[in-house]
Amino acid sequence: MVDQSLLGHWVRRFLMEYAASERNLSPNTCASYRDTLVLALPFVAKCKRAAVDKLRVTDLSPDVVRAFLKHLERDRKCGTATRNQRLASVRALARFIGAHSPEHVEWCAQIRMVPVKKAIAASVTYLEKSEIDALLAAPDRSTKQGERDHALLLFLYNAGARVSEATSLRIGDIDWHSKSVRIIGKGNKERRCPLWAETIGHLKQLAASRQNDAPLFLNRRGEALTRYGVHTLMERYVRRITPSTPSLAAKRISPHVIRQTTATHLLQAGVDINTIRAWLGHVSIDTTSIYAETDLATKKRALATLDRGGTAQKAGGWSKQPALLEFLRAL
């Protein structure tokens, strides 16, 4: 009979049965859970001076979880966002165990009381129009690899896609007639984005006569391009154009910055925030609203509409408005 007090029993069920099967969570979410436990279990075993396969559920105590989070920040140099993401994975495991093992309900409650650390919200990095144009022009389109890289960068900018969405894209996801793309985003949520005629033209060249279930973006070995591959090619092109576009030197550029650039440029073009939310595949409009906070150009246009001229009568302080004071006292 399986000893249900052992942590290993629950870890296997959590990853194999719950996350992948019952919840049908995305591969990225399952990988995040797995990576957290790959780091956490050896740490707990070291703290308890026990073998990993001998750890008990209660060995993963709130104090050990807090020590693990400090270890991530101090020794592994992880940021607050990564620290909180690892904590979320541990909490998910605790919820699963508590839901299936009544004797561990109190332990689950204690784990869930470990607080999330508040982080300073970083400003969103995006590229100006001249910078994104320079990046799109960087690949040598006379070569097969350069044509692929240009098409990929253009697609990322056009669709505002996440890098994982681009690397998992299949030829059949492109609707050549309606000039649109079907994207499967986080949580297996589907959305459709329109594509420019220029984007469609470059993607057709990549697709050639391959089957609809084939990956659209391939590496040199004819396999689906990876997220690491996209990061690498972007770093290469950014280094190439930085001497001629020195403003890039002050920015940390990644594929996600292109997505943020798309959102910001849509906002600058007057597209309403809810449409941008649907375009990017955000669940909550609060996530999309960060672009409104950081778009300096739109703020400058709003400032220009204010009355500067002194034609309006100044209201003065409350003490100079007796009618207002009487109204307030009567409330």
CA nearest 117: which of 159, 153, 65? 65
Kindly name the residue from 13, 162, 202, 277 that is annotated as catalytic: 162
The yes-or-no answer on residue 282 being catalytic is: yes
* Average pLDDT along the chain, 331 residues, taken 10 residues at a time: 87 92 86 95 96 95 97 94 95 96 95 91 83 96 95 95 94 95 87 93 92 94 93 96 94 92 87 84 73 59 53 51 60 50
Q: Hey, what domains does the chain have and what are their CATH numbers? A: 7-112 (1.10.150), 129-301 (1.10.443.10)
pTM (predicted TM-score): 0.70
Q: How many CB atoms lie within 10 A of CB 144?
A: 11
Phi, psi of 115 (to 5 degrees): -80, 150
* Amino acid (one-letter) located at 114: V
Q: Which of 245, 74, 229, 100 has its CA nearest to residue 166? A: 229
Q: Which two tokens stand for residue 122?
A: 């970083």
Rounded Cα distance between 43 and 62, Å, is: 14
Per-residue model confidence (pLDDT) at position 232? 95
Q: List the catalytic residue out of 9, 34, 251, 256.
A: 256
pLDDT of residue 25: 85
Please confirm, yes or no, whether 49 is among the known catalytic residues.
Answer: no
pLDDT at 312: 46
Q: Residue 163 and residue 328: Cα distance in Å, rounded?
A: 56
Which of 13, 83, 259, 277 is flagged as catalytic? 259
Is 170 assigned a catalytic role?
Answer: no
204 is catalytic: no
Instruction: With beta carbons less than 8 A apart as the criterion, state whether 247 and 131 touch.
Output: yes
What local confidence, expressed as pLDDT, does residue 144 receive? 93
Q: What is the pLDDT of residue 281?
A: 85
Collapsed DSSP state (helix, strand, coil) of residue 6: strand
Catalytic residue among 56, 170, 186, 191: 186
Rounded distance, CA 176 to CA 195, Å?
9
Q: Where are the extended beta strands (E) located within the chain?
A: 174-175, 180-184, 190-194
Cα–Cα distance measured from residue 1 to residue 277, given in angstroms and rounded to the nearest whole number: 50
Active-site annotation holds for 104: no
